Amino acid sequence: MRAANRGITINRMGVADGSMAGQAANDRFRHVYHVFILVLTILSLFIMVGLLLPVGRATRQLLLVYENAICIVFLIDFSVDLVKAPVKRTYLVGQRGWLDLLGSIPTLGLFNFTGLLRLARLSRLTRIVRILRRQNQKQLVEDVLTNRGQYAAFVTLLLAFVVLVAASVLILLFESQSPAANITTGGDALWWAIVTITTVGYGDKYPVTVGGRVTAVFVMVAGVGIIGSLAGILSSVLVPPPAVANGATAPGADDELAAVRRELVALRQAVERFERTRQ
């Protein structure tokens, strides 16, 4: 009986550990998702400001492409929150979900970016406030510091995305002022930003203005750091630590092995006592 009870206890401990691990994974995913939406919201506000400035036609078209892409992500986020809401009316009215809907409507080239839409985009400020209120900042910071390796890939890719968007807009903004420029469209700017941030540098598209070249320097420096970080993350995943690779036990493995041995000894003693009582 004691052996059976001990086995049940061990099984319950395993189930509890599994549920705690699953909860930690869910919390980590929620943190990543909230940070992603928060960064997109802040980036969309910068894009909105850019659309209010007297920029060239090509730059405006590129900004609208990014604006519509972010709007689609926001619209999906709004739809998920609406589906998950227990009471739809409470989410739409009480939690001001209708503001999220107004800030998530993409133009898709069907109508101009009018003053009404600009005013609706300001509702994204409430999204930032709501995310910050809903998110436990202390828990997020502690989780990131404790699991730096697991967040490294997400932070690196998010940084690469922000650099890609900013670089393509800035290079097109500077190069559109020169008649000798060969980066004249949004596609050219995006292609240049991709090959520069990945340190490939084909040379088919290159900046000719001072502002464009300064932008290129920052993009190349950021690209080296991003590629180096991704290479380090990939190597840490594919190559095990030297101690483990050489057959040595990982840190903490000795304590776990000793605990298992004690459990086995206790189970053996319980079985022996049970056999003696039967005799």
Q: How far is CA 203 from the centre of its chain?
A: 31
Got the DSSP string for 106-159? --TTSS---HHHHHHHTTHHHHHHHHHHHS-HHHHHHHHHHTHHHHHHHHHHHH
What's the pLDDT score for residue 186? 92
Q: Tell me: the pLDDT tens digits for 42-63? A: 898 899 888 888 888 999 999 9
Domain ranges within the chain, ordered by starting residue: 26-146
Q: Tell me: the pLDDT tens digits for 195-231? A: 999 877 777 888 999 999 999 999 999 999 999 888 8
What's the pLDDT score for residue 172? 94
Burial of 94 (0-12, 13-18, 19+ CB in 10 A): exposed
> Mean pLDDT over residues 98-118, rounded?
68
- The CA–CA distances, whole Å, from 249 to 17, 52, 245, 255 equal 22, 60, 9, 11
Whole-number Å distance between alpha carbons of 277 and 279: 5
Domain 26-146 has CATH 3.40.50: no
What is the value of pTM for the model shown?
Answer: 0.70
Task: List the structure tokens of 81.
Answer: 């929150």
Residue 3 pLDDT > 50 = no
What's the pLDDT score for residue 66? 93
Q: Tell me: the pLDDT tens digits for 132-183? A: 666 566 666 666 666 666 778 888 899 999 999 999 999 999 998 888 889 9
The better pLDDT of the pair 150, 269 is held by: 269
- The CA–CA distances, whole Å, from 99 to 93, 143, 271 equal 9, 30, 66
Task: List the structure tokens of 27.
Answer: 């919390």
